[in-house]
Amino acid sequence: MTSVLTQPRPIRLKGRSFLALALTPEQPFEDWLVRLDDLAARSAGFFMRRPVVLDINGLDIDRTQLRELINKLGARNVRIMGIEGARPSLLGTDLPPAMTDGRPASNIEAPSEGESVESKSPEKTAPPAPPVPQAQPSMLVTQPVRSGQSIIFTEGDVTVVGSVASGAEIIAGGSIHIYGTLRGRVMAGTMGHASARIFCSKLEAELVAIDGYYKTAEDLGPDLRGKAVQFWLEGDTFKVGSLA
């Protein structure tokens, strides 16, 4: 019974990406809505089960106009889950949240005459984005990470050329590489990236975690201390291997 209390399960926070349909309204909105109605008339329910993001980049509108547009779309059963390209001042708590860093995927085909969305397989209506070659973002730290410092980089890997002090912490969306002594806490794969790994040239860590699973210094055992090691996940189990 007490083990439940002494070993609290952490809340797992994961990142996930979805393909959303981006609607780009054009001014004047009345004309654009007529064309949208025309499209919807051809295919009932085209917007029904899709996450829709409203891209208002470059549009010169105020909050009242934006709210009006969203209401009009709502009346057409188009529910907006987020707004891209809006100034922060334009969005209030009553409007959908701002979306940033969207990456373009291929165009989604509008249904042609008489076609029903329900009859189509999802692969056809929303083709997966073709893999665009893209550099994985990473962060390089060339100074020792001092006690009390916190390095948070959820986009990718963190590499430290130097030591990570006791009481310092590194949180990375990808893997963590430490060319020095690891004495602090490191959390890799925090955005739900279970294949992330942790590498260090000398292990004295207080805590290591990958994708929400963690081990404290006590769990790591004395035989690994001072060694060059790597950590990875195999399913739910934490694996440790020597790098020497």
Partner 1 sequence: MGKVIVVTSGKGGVGKTTSSAALGAALASNGEKVVVVDFDVGLRNLDLVMGAERRVVYDLVNVIQGEAKLTQALIRDKRLETLYLLPASQTRDKDNLTADGVEWVIGALKQTFDWVICDSPAGIERGATLAMRHADVAIVVTNPEVSSVRDSDRIIGLLDSKTLKAENGERMEKHLLLTRYDPVRAERGDMLKVEDVLEILSIPLLGIVPESMDVLRASNVGSPVTLADERSAPAIAYFDAARRLKGEMLPIAIPGEKRGFFGKFFGRKAA
Cβ–Cβ under 8 Å, residues 123 and 109: no
Region of 39-47, 109-117, 124-132, 139-147 interacting with partner 1 (CB under 8 A): 139-147
Among 51, 96, 156, 167, binds partner 1 (CB under 8 A): 167
CB of 26 to partner 1, least distance (A): 46
Give the C-alpha separation, 55 to 32, whole Å. 14
CB-wise, 167 or 212, nearer to partner 1? 167
By CB under 8 A, is residue 169 in contact with partner 1? no
CB proximity list for 160: less than 8 A, separation 6 or greater? 141, 145, 151, 170, 176, 177, 178, 179, 180
Location of structure tokens 């207080």: 206
Among 148, 221, 226, 241, binds partner 1 (CB under 8 A): 148
Tell me the three state secondary structure of residue 96: coil
CB of 225 to partner 1, least distance (A): 14
Among 43, 175, 181, 190, binds partner 1 (CB under 8 A): 181
By CB under 8 A, is residue 201 in contact with partner 1? no
CB-wise, 72 or 146, nearer to partner 1? 146
CB of 169 to partner 1, least distance (A): 12
Region of 138-146, 171-179, 191-199, 231-239 interacting with partner 1 (CB under 8 A): 138-146
Note if the bond before 28 is cis, omega within 30 degrees: yes
Closest by alpha carbon to 200, among 223, 228, 167? 228
Closest by alpha carbon to 52, among 75, 29, 23? 23
Cβ–Cβ under 8 Å, residues 61 and 49: no
Tell me the three state secondary structure of residue 97: coil
CB of 241 to partner 1, least distance (A): 25
By CB under 8 A, is residue 163 in contact with partner 1? yes
By CB under 8 A, is residue 227 in contact with partner 1? no
**For binding to partner 1 (CB under 8 A), which residues are involved?**
143-144, 146-149, 162-163, 165-168, 181, 183
